[in-house]
A = this chain, B = another copy of it.
Amino acid sequence: MAKNRARIVECIPNFSEGRDPGVVAAIADAISSVDGVYLLRTESDVDHNRSVVTFAGEPGAVAEAAFRGIACAVERIDLTRHVGQHPRMGAADVVPFVPIEDVTMAECVELSRRVAERVWSELGVPVYLYEESALLPEHRNLADLRRGQFEGIRDALGSDSWRAPDLGEPRVHPTAGITAIGARRPLVAYNVWLGTTDVAIARKIARAVRHTSGGLRFVKALAFELASRGVVQVSMNLVDYRRTPIHHVFEMVRREAERYGVPIVGSELIGLVPQDALLAAAEFYLRLNEFDASRVLENRLLDAMSADAAEDE
């Protein structure tokens, strides 16, 4: 009946391939070939031409698996032939490490830097260290780093000194570009779909809700046209969902959409979402008093079982 608590790091690399299932499967296989790594989810988007792999495990195993996944992507993806809705600069575009259980942010920073060193020295792909792992303040924000995308960065790297990678020479890998690696807090990737084909409306809403243009503190937002589905979307990253919760973001998008007479036809979570982000939304809408995650039967049972296991040791 014991549940032994393990040290857990989550890694959610984004790869610039969402149309060839063979390539995505090869990357996922490379990742799960490491013992003690749990492959949690693989998600591909055809319009974005991009895949997100989610895995977790003990820190050392996760670092090795991330490296193997990146190596496979560098071998199999050619950015000079890549077209998609989502901005990208690398075959392995961004590789974040997230502390989940019994691991500090500092340990994740250390781990991300070790992986970054191997990516440059063994694969010849230059690396930006971003978010909590950033060495330079101007490398902290992924959106800044990715501006101009693969093609623009390739041309600008020699001249713009702030653009120089943290590891490697100031040039992109000819086919695999440049990769951002770093540690960060858990993030909620949340897209809201609008019942219109007018992407200009999604752009206006993205500007209204995102932090950089005056919106909510921990929201990043872009607008996309999803040709295959006949809708547009406001695509968001909630970079601190405890302080800017998902339901505040949804309600703000809804109010803005109303102003343009456009309905919200649905929304989607990309990758996996921490339980407390959704419980907070249920609490808000159901107007629950004195609620917290310990009111959930499954959580209470796991806690009671691991407390009991700890006593037995």
* Chain A residues engaging chain B, CB cutoff 8 angstroms: 1-4, 6, 8, 10, 36, 38-41, 54, 56, 58, 100, 186, 192-193, 246-247, 250, 264-269, 272-275, 278-279, 281-282, 284-291, 295-302, 304-305, 308
With A1-B6, A273-B295, A304-B39 already in contact, the answer to whether A266 and B287 are too (CB < 8 A) is: yes
Among candidates B192, B269, B286, B289, residue contacting A295 with C-beta atoms closer than 8 Å: B269
The answer to whether B8 and A301 have CB atoms under 8 Å apart is yes
Q: Can you report 11 A-B residue pairs in the complex whose CB atoms are below 8 A from each other?
A: A38-B308, A56-B301, A100-B301, A246-B286, A250-B286, A268-B291, A272-B295, A272-B300, A278-B282, A278-B296, A282-B282
Q: A1-B36, A193-B289, A274-B297 are in contact. List 7 more A-B contacts (CB 8 A).
A: A39-B304, A186-B297, A247-B285, A250-B285, A264-B287, A268-B289, A274-B296
Q: In the bound complex, how far is the Cα of B44 from the Cα of A98, in angstroms?
A: 39
With A250-B286, A288-B266 already in contact, the answer to whether A100 and B297 are too (CB < 8 A) is: yes
Q: In the bound complex, how far is the Cα of B251 from the Cα of A286, in angstroms?
A: 9
The answer to whether B281 and A286 have CB atoms under 8 Å apart is yes
Set of chain B residues within 8 Å of A273, measured between Cβ atoms: 295-297
Q: In the bound complex, how far is the Cα of B10 from the Cα of A193, in angstroms?
A: 40
Copies in the complex: 2
The residue on B at minimum CB distance from A40 is B300
With A39-B304, A299-B275 already in contact, the answer to whether A268 and B281 are too (CB < 8 A) is: no
Q: In the bound complex, how far is the Cα of B287 from the Cα of A265, in angstroms?
A: 8
How far apart are A201's CB and chain B's nearest CB, in angstroms? 17
Set of chain B residues within 8 Å of A288, measured between Cβ atoms: 266-269
Set of chain B residues within 8 Å of A1, measured between Cβ atoms: 4, 6, 36, 58
The residue on B at minimum CB distance from A250 is B286
The answer to whether B275 and A290 have CB atoms under 8 Å apart is no
Q: Which 5 A-B pairs have the closest CB atoms?
A: A38-B304, A278-B282, A281-B282, A272-B297, A285-B285
Q: In the bound complex, how far is the Cα of B247 from the Cα of A284, in angstroms?
A: 12
With A40-B304, A305-B38 already in contact, the answer to whether A275 and B272 are too (CB < 8 A) is: no
